[in-house]
A and B are shown apart, each in its own frame.
Chain A
């Protein structure tokens, strides 16, 4: 098939092979993990009561329940920070998958009513079924996210001509606003507003090991699923027809992608509420660094999404002690200027 001319051809191929050694991806991943571990350490040590990093290390490696500092670290700080990391990773990966699947650089899990649906369901749970066990709450959060998507697709398909990408986005915005308002209405009427506010504003701060035990399997499995799916997402991002032409079963990929996004968004919303930006910004940031292969975009989004939220949570605690600033505001504060910087620099996709 190839008119091989010997050595000349071979050296060219070796040249080509250099291009797929993803140096950038590996470096970005390693740097990100280092930064994440460091920030986690920092997040545990700083706060209303400052604890030295050395103590943090001993608390993790040689935990002794008698020491108060170790107790603070183990029971309060560590689960909280881990929760923040999981939430960040979830939103970021969900956003990356959404952007790849919908070929919309402004997509995240909030686009199709996922976040709003989950938040609405949580409001309903608080109002009508107070004291619900956490496991059930999370599952209902997933259901709420699925409901949100279903309504968006339903509304988008109603008019003549059916579903178009534009209609999908518009329906997503409308349904998100509707569900958000309904959720608030229920919270007001049934006077669970404070409970919800505590739940969300606490957000990660309310996280304890019990929560983490229930939350983390879902998130970890979904992230593993996302990594497995990442190559297919790359192909899908080239366009539906191209993907079909290359032999991909696009319907299967989309279904699995949506399921993963549902789980990730549902889980994350159940902890911090419908926080935006993480899913939007982090994939753009990672794409800027590592290019277009979603294997790298998704793996780096796990790390950098976690980093962003852990950082935001840390700042939320130390900015105005002993009060806690809402984490959503902080994420926007950190994220938006960065997003604007990316928009100016990157330019091509936005």
Chain B
């Protein structure tokens, strides 16, 4: 069952189209990852899915309804987005930023209720930020800062989480912590996770559904077994990959690779 249906979308600015005639159905309750080289349009696609960008053509359907026709606050209650580069105004503390995640659920004057505090507490706890609760964000390291933004998205309490490169800037341990957290949210609570990842192996290990893009087009999509093949990686990334099997997920991973020269 698809939670998000993308039908023939074209996305771009003015005269340049970044994504052209893309259609795919993103399954509900699963972890879906978009992979692709720089400039392939994955962030652009993600933004259109999150209704941050309007499509020039085509429609994105959320639970069967056209997303740009839904009230944006209603969408925010179902879908939380973590953009790629997020910078907070100086002086904001961790708690304050995470509390803004409750905005779509607030009414009137916007005072936080007990339920809001519970969400915020949980989000800060589960991202391991409890001891930084009162620190201003710029006093944190890049990785810690990233976790604050993730906590804010989590505090939104939505069924769908859309994350644009959530693990960039994080060290190996923290990368895995975040991915394991997302996996837990998916397994235990049935949340749908849609993300863009640069790390192919992480994508393969944690995803149920993968989409590979190049030059604004969807080259291949399906399970990690279907997508992570030497031939596909060659077409999408222009690399000669040596494939192996992930010891944890049993999905295919790329052991290492060489550059693939199309002329040879």
Contacts and interface: CB of A to CB of B under 8 A. Distances in A.
B86 A242 contact: yes
Interface stretch (A66-74, A125-133, A174-182, A233-241): A233-241
Contacts of A235: 100, 103
A244 B52 contact: yes
Interface in A206-256: 231, 234-235, 237-239, 241-242, 244-249
A246 B80 CA distance: 7
Nearest to A349: B90
B117 A246 contact: no
Interface string B51-87: 1100000000000000000001111110011110011
Interface stretch (B91-99, B170-178, B226-234, B248-256): B91-99
A167 interface: no
Contacts of A17: 112, 117
Nearest to A20: B112
Given A239-B87, A241-B52, A246 B76 contact: yes
A345 interface: no
A16 B121 contact: yes
Contacts of B89: 103, 237-238, 292, 349
Contacts of B91: 287, 291-292, 348-349
Contacts of B52: 241, 244-245
A16 B138 contact: no
A298 to B, nearest CB: 14
Contacts of B221: none
Interface centre among B101, B110, B153, B189 (most CB of A within 10 A): B110
Contact of B72 (A13, A231, A242, A244): A244
Contacts, number: 100
Interface string B99-116: 111011000011110100
Given A13-B118, A247-B72, A241 B83 contact: yes
A344 interface: no
Nearest to B81: A245
A348 B137 CA distance: 11
A348 B75 CA distance: 34
Interface residues of A, number: 31
A241 B134 contact: no
Nearest to B98: A16
A237 B153 CA distance: 17
Interface in B105-145: 109-112, 114, 117-122, 133-134, 138
B14 interface: yes
- Identify the 4 closest CB pairs spanning chains A and B, nearest first: A247-B76, A245-B81, A247-B73, A348-B90
Given A2-B121, A13-B121, 18 more contacts: A1-B122, A2-B118, A2-B119, A2-B122, A9-B121, A16-B120, A17-B112, A19-B134, A103-B89, A235-B100, A239-B86, A239-B88, A241-B52, A241-B81, A242-B100, A244-B50, A247-B72, A247-B77
Interface of B: 14, 47, 50-52, 72-77, 80-83, 86-93, 95-97, 99-101, 103-104, 109-112, 114, 117-122, 133-134, 138, 153, 156-157, 189
19 contacts: A2-B119, A2-B121, A9-B118, A12-B121, A13-B118, A16-B120, A17-B112, A20-B112, A103-B89, A239-B88, A241-B47, A241-B83, A241-B86, A244-B51, A246-B104, A247-B72, A248-B73, A291-B91, A292-B96
